[in-house]
Amino acid sequence: MSHIHITLKDVSFGYEKNKNILTNISFTAREQESVGLIGANGAGKSTLLKLLVGLLPGYQGSVEIMDTAVKKETLPWIRERTGYVFQDSDSQLFMSTAYEDIAFAPRNYGLPADEVERRTARALDLTRITHLRDKQIYKMSGGEKKLVSIATILSMSPDIILMDEPSIALDPKNRRNLIQILNQFTHLKIIASHDLDLILDTCQRTILLSRGNIVADGPTAEILKNQKLLEQHDLELPLSLLGRPQT
Amino acid sequence: MDELAARDTWLNRVHPLAKLLVTLACISVTVSFSKYNLVGLLVMAVYPASLFILNELSFPDALRRLRVVLPLVCMVGLFNPFFDREPAASFGSFTVTYGMISMVTLMMKGILAVLSSYLLVASTGIESLCYALRRLHVPAILGTQILLTCRYISLLLAEADRIVQAYSLRAPRQKGVHFKVWGSLAGQLLLRSMDRANEVYESMSLRGFTGEFYDHPKNAFQWKDAWYLILWLLLIAAARYFWR
């Protein structure tokens, strides 16, 4: 198996006793793979992503990042290698300027000032937002905040990127820009989204969750063309496959 | 305030440690004047006045930002004229009492301390300020608390703004917020801001935060910073010595 991978075996989790949000989830995602996580509201997509970075303790089964079990003692190691982009950028960004926010993680990992500067500049460059370096966060548009959010995790040089609804609240231009940026990353990516067109454009593999269970796992094009399967689980064909313009 | 602190002016470029030390010295000397030493306090007003002018900061803007704090500061000596009625000087039929003088000096001390602090934050920024505190060996936990409190206040204000907006859009004829819904709005505000604060904390911990903020200064402490510090300390010391 490749060095960088995520493995889940029979994972179940619930916020309340006897009420599972996720039930017997098992899959493996490997190096350079881009995996789309789709499902209707409440299917458990965000919960699954949060389990991977240890934000939700108390699960059953086994969650491993590069053969290391996700538990309290291993969280610093796992979080240094796993970047998580929140659904709401306002929750992700908490410093005053883009630079300060992007430099936050490298500084916390005790890197010297010149390395912090190098990583921050590279993250800004990769997300094409060098011009936003000293801009105040509260003055940014939704699209700008989303790109800064992605840059904040790129400065950690993670092996794995997890994204929760990355295209939410983005206009068509910013969305296209985001897709281009995501496609240039070679990290292992797991992208949870309702935006099936985004999944179609960025992920080779898709996992369909329904009421906390994996009901399909395979090539994206195959799953997203299966109208019957999607409709059975409260989803619809992507607009691009219906021949309609994407919004 | 963040915007003011992000400006590229000569005062903003001064090392945060130098500005912090000057501000601490200024406030300490200001509050050390006797309660009847009005002239000494007027001399101390030179510090904030000169920084407002030299750094092109708007004084009315500062008063607007401090409009909640300044009245509270001014209330401190409000009752002195009633307790201390000993005459100090007379102008015709009008008698100035020591109580009146002490009221004015107390107000001035408060106002000068608040303005000095405002100048420090407006020219330094909260992150750099906490960096300066760490350089003075103030416990890291205190700097972290200051930074987190600042973040929480901004979240709280943003949530309050959203709630009031949503309320006013559905109660267009209502002036302000009706007292009957104060309880439920306050509860909502607390719950929502706590949720947001928790998410922010999660975001921080996912990026290696373990309870301490790390900051690299943009500039090292240079000779110009030392001159700024020495010059102001000499002026403040002179004011204290000659107008004691």
Residue A72 belongs to domain with CATH number:
3.40.50.300
Of B221, B54, B232, the C-alpha closest to B132 is B221
Residue listed under structure tokens 């006013």: B168
Asked if A105 and B208 come within 8 Å (Cβ–Cβ), the reply is yes
Question: Who wins on pLDDT, B144 or A117?
Answer: A117
**pLDDT the model gives residue A29:** 94
Which residues of chain A have a pLDDT value below 50? none
Evaluated on CA atoms B134, B140, A117, A126, the torsion sign reads negative
Helix (H, G, I), strand (E, B) or coil at A110: coil
Asked if B206 and A152 come within 8 Å (Cβ–Cβ), the reply is no
Asked if B3 and A153 come within 8 Å (Cβ–Cβ), the reply is no
* pLDDT for residue B76 is more than 90: no
Asked if B6 and A136 come within 8 Å (Cβ–Cβ), the reply is yes
Residue A113 inside a domain? The answer is yes
Q: Residue A132: its chain B contacts at CB < 8 A?
A: none
Distance CA A206, CA A191 (A): 9
**pLDDT the model gives residue A247:** 53
Which tens digit of pLDDT belongs to each residue from A80-104? Answer: 899 999 988 888 888 888 998 999 9
| Total tally of structural domains belonging to chain A | 1
**What contacts 24+ positions apart, CB below 8 Å, involve A55-59?**
A55/B202, A55/B206, A56/A13, A58/A13, A59/A11, A59/A12, A59/A13, A59/A22
Residue A36 inside a domain? The answer is yes
* pLDDT for residue B217 is more than 80: no
Where in the sequence is the domain holding A193, given as residue range(s)?
A: 5-242
Residue A208 inside a domain? The answer is yes
* pLDDT for residue B174 is more than 80: no
Q: Which of B6, B214, B216 sits opposite A134 (nearest CB)?
A: B6
Residue A115 inside a domain? The answer is yes
> Mean per-residue pLDDT for B25-50?
88
Whether B59 and chain A come into contact, CB under 8 Å, resolves to: no
Which tens digit of pLDDT belongs to each residue from B86-131? Answer: 887 888 888 888 888 888 888 888 889 999 999 998 888 888 888 8
Question: Who wins on pLDDT, A207 or B173?
Answer: A207
Residue A142 inside a domain? The answer is yes
Q: How confident is the model at residue B209 (pLDDT cuts 50, 70, 90)?
A: confident
Output phi, psi for A219, to 5 deg: -60, 135
Residue A15 inside a domain? The answer is yes
Which tens digit of pLDDT belongs to each residue from A212-230? Answer: 999 999 999 999 999 999 9
> Mean per-residue pLDDT for B42-67?
87
Whats the size of chain B, residue-wise?
244
Evaluated on CA atoms A25, A30, A32, A33, the torsion sign reads negative
Residue A247 inside a domain? The answer is no
